[in-house]
Every structure is written in C-alpha cells, then in structure tokens.
C-alpha cells in the first residue's frame, strides 16, 4: 500500500514537468520578401532572426521551449503577405508573427492577426500610421518609425544646411509617401522650404524622366525614401546625369544600407540618413552583436538585421514575463516592456506599441557609415497619437 501511495505521489509530482516537456516549440511565422526588389532587406531579416533563434535555443529556449521559425515569401506585396500570414496562423499554427517589410503589408497583416487573435511585431516598416492613426492592439513595432528617423536627420540638416530648399522623391506606396510626409514636416519645422515632390512606381527602372522637374526646382537638398534595388538604380542614374552635383542627398533609413552600398559604390558618398541603428554604435552590446553577426553571415548587419535579431528577445522577454503564450497575457506583458538589443535597452511604449530608442544621423564616406549626430529617444519619438485602444 505504501509503495502504491509513493508511486501515485511521484507520478503526481512529475505530471507538471511531464506536461511542460510535452509542449512543442514556440512557433514564430516570418512573412518577409525573399525575392524581388526588397530581397536584400529580407535577407538581413532572416540573418538577424536565425542568429537570435540559434542563440536563444542554445541557452535553453524560451521558458524551456525551443524556438521554431517558419518562413514565407511576401514578395513585398500586401496581397501576398495576407495570404501567407493566414496560412501561418491557420495551417502552421504559429504563436506569433514578424518579418513584414512593406508598410502596406504590415498594415494588412495586422488585420489578419486581429482576426486570428494573434500578435505581430514589425522590425522594418517605417510608416508612422502603423503606430498612429492605423494602430492596432495586436501590432507592435520594435524599429524606429519614419518620424523618429526624421527627427535625427532634420536636426543634422538644420545645422549643416539651414533653411535649405528640399525636393522629395519617394516610392509610390504607403512607406514612400509617409516617410516623405514625416521628413517634410520635421524639416519645415526647422526652417527648410519644399520646392517639389514626385513618386515613382516600386521597382522603377528609369528615374531620368523625373530629373528635369528636379533640376528646374533647383533644390539644395534632395530627399529620397526609395529602398533595396531601387536605390541602386536611382543613385547610379543620378550620378550618370550629374544630378547629385552641388546637391546634398539625404533619405530614409533603408535607402542606403550594407546590403546595397557595394552596388551603389561612389554614388553613395556624402549621403546622410537618420537611423535607429549603425554598426558603429559604441557599446558592448553592439560590438558583441556585430562580431557574432559577421561570424555567422560573413556580412555586416544593417538596421533590418539588428532589429530582427532584437525582436526575438522582445518575444522572449514578453512570454517569460507573461508566463504564457496566450495572446491577451503576452500583449499585456509587451506594453511598457524593456528588453536588451544591440542598440542597448529599448522600451516599448504602452500607449501606441512603438519602441523608444536613441536615433542617429549617419553619413556615407568612402564606402563606410559614420555617425555624425544623435537625438535622444525621448526627443525623437514624438507624441502618442493612437486612439484605437
């Protein structure tokens, strides 16, 4: 009888451990461009996520559970992104989702997440609307939004090119128009004058038809928010037509990165942007991250690789704080959460789900990026304008 009781007690004591052991991996779906114009951005996203997942799993996972990443190619197309996100939620039963690059994709996938009662976090998308007028209780952003990038760049420009006349050239979709609007607002607030703006189709092959309009406007500064392979074509064509001569070219964070810098070559020299990440950030976390990223991928990280690396530690911190993967509990844990990233400690603002972080002005010089300015997180983030939750 005593043996039986001891057996029952032992079995009862082991039951919780057995239940935990039987729980499978935490699945994170990744909807990101693995082909097309933004494939280079998707590559950095994948490199960052894969490195973080390997490190987290080697250290025991999240609350004892391994991480599993499931990739789908969104082709930087919102319609494709929603289909892939639905598949990941309904068929693959992922716990969370990340990876969306195109801002339109992030907004569309956010609606899919709401319908499925799941959470997503973007590490790339710039559109202010994502955490402002189109904010969602199920959408978080761990990277800097357009307005934050603009704060750092406008501060630099006000000192180096005071009261400059600026011409804007952006890609004709959500991100392009929102980044132009954000920088225009920040620049005009510091005394600049807008002398024109145009929008080119995504994956545009020939920018020369816009050059006549730009020349006639006689800007001191040209701002652009094209990205990926579009940047390579734009900058090389500007160099060929002499468009950048005696003009300061500036732009959004993703315009010139480590992924497309080599292809742009000397045409990128002098370009200045506002960013939330640079491999040159002088801190122990970043130095360690850059060394590990280089060892794993034989390439330097850019802002997309760094923030994609950081998002898995964001999910890890939230799940361990919530002691659950249930959406409501994790959502509550994410609001106001602080977690470690290559940039240092970030804070997720509870009101609009926007990450707070220091911002930098970065210039390309001789094929390298150099930090030429900084704006503190509290000054860069701007007001919380989300009213939907």
- Both 140 and 151 in one domain: the answer is no
Write down the pLDDT at residue 154.
96
Domain boundary among 238, 260, 275: 275
Task: List the CATH number of the domain containing 342.
Answer: 3.40.50.2300
- Both 119 and 224 in one domain: the answer is no
- Both 60 and 158 in one domain: the answer is no
Q: Which residues of 336-350 are buried (b: 16+ CB within 10 A; e: fewer)?
A: ebebebbbeebebbe
Please tell me the total count of domains within the chain. 2
Token pair in block for residue 139: 């959408």
If you write DSSP's letter for every residue of 82-147 in order, what string do you get? Answer: HHHHHHHHHTS--SEEE---SHHHHHHHHHHHHHHT-EEEESS---GGGGTTT--TTEEE-SPPHH
- Both 306 and 252 in one domain: the answer is no
- Both 270 and 154 in one domain: the answer is yes
- Both 271 and 170 in one domain: the answer is yes
- Both 43 and 128 in one domain: the answer is yes
Could you tell me if residue 264 is inside a domain? yes
The whole-angstrom separation of Cα 16 and Cα 109 is 36
Domain boundary among 227, 254, 275: 275
CB 95, CB 26: distance < 8 Å: yes
Write down the pLDDT at residue 293.
98
For 91, residues 6+ apart whose C-beta sits below 8 A from its C-beta are none
Could you tell me if residue 365 is inside a domain? no
Could you tell me if residue 385 is inside a domain? no
Could you tell me if residue 124 is inside a domain? yes
Write down the pLDDT at residue 175.
86
Could you tell me if residue 380 is inside a domain? no
Could you tell me if residue 386 is inside a domain? no
- Both 114 and 202 in one domain: the answer is no
- Both 116 and 178 in one domain: the answer is no
- Both 263 and 315 in one domain: the answer is no
Q: From first to last of its 389 residues, what are the pLDDT tens digits of the chain? A: 444 444 444 444 444 433 334 489 999 999 999 998 899 999 999 999 999 999 999 999 999 999 999 999 999 899 999 999 999 999 999 999 999 999 999 999 999 999 999 999 999 999 999 999 999 999 999 999 999 999 999 999 999 999 999 999 999 988 899 999 999 999 999 999 999 999 999 999 999 999 999 999 999 999 999 998 999 999 999 999 999 899 999 999 889 988 899 999 999 999 999 999 999 999 999 999 999 999 999 999 999 999 999 999 999 999 999 999 999 999 999 999 999 999 999 999 999 999 999 999 999 999 999 999 999 999 999 999 999 99
Could you tell me if residue 233 is inside a domain? yes
- Both 251 and 285 in one domain: the answer is no
Domain span holding position 292: 20-144+280-357
- Both 257 and 295 in one domain: the answer is no
Could you tell me if residue 388 is inside a domain? no
Cα 210 vs. chain centroid, distance in angstroms? 29
């Amino acid at each position: 009888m005593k043996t039986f009781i001891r057996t029952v007690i032992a079995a009862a004591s082991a039951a919780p451990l057995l239940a935990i052991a039987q729980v499978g991996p935490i699945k994170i779906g990744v909807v990101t461009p693995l082909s097309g114009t933004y494939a280079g951005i998707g590559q950095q996203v994948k490199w960052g996520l894969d490195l973080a997942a390997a490190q987290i799993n080697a250290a025991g996972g999240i609350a004892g559970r391994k991480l599993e990443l499931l990739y789908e190619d969104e082709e930087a197309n919102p319609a494709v992104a929603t289909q892939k996100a639905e598949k990941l939620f309904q068929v693959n039963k992922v716990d969370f989702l990340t990876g969306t690059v195109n801002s339109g994709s992030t907004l569309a996938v956010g609606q899919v997440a709401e319908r499925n009662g799941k959470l997503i976090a973007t590490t790339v998308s710039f559109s202010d609307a994502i955490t402002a007028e189109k904010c969602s209780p199920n959408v978080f952003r761990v990277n800097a939004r357009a307005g934050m990038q603009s704060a750092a760049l406008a501060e630099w420009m006000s000192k180096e090119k005071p009261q400059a006349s600026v011409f804007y050239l952006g890609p004709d979709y959500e991100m392009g128009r929102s980044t132009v609007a954000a920088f225009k607002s920040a620049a005009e607030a510091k005394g600049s004058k807008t002398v024109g703006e145009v929008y080119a189709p995504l994956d545009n092959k020939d920018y020369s038809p816009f050059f006549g309009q730009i020349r006639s406007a006689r800007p001191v500064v040209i701002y652009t928010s094209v990205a990926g392979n579009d940047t390579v074509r734009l900058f090389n064509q500007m160099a060929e037509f002499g468009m950048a001569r005696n003009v300061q070219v500036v732009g959004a964070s993703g315009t010139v990165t480590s992924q497309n810098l080599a292809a742009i070559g000397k045409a990128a020299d002098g370009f200045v942007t506002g960013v939330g990440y640079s491999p040159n950030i002088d801190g122990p976390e970043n130095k360690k991250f850059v060394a590990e990223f280089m060892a794993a991928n034989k390439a330097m990280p850019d802002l997309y690789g760094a923030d994609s690396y950081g998002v898995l530690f964001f999910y890890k911190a939230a799940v361990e704080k919530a002691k659950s993967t249930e959406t409501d509990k994790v959502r509550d844990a994410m609001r106001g959460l602080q977690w470690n990233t290559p940039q240092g400690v970030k804070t997720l603002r509870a009101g609009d789900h926007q990450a707070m972080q220091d911002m930098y002005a970065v210039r390309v010089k001789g094929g390298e990026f150099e930090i030429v300015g900084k704006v503190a997180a509290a000054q860069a983030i701007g007001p919380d304008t989300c009213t939907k939750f």
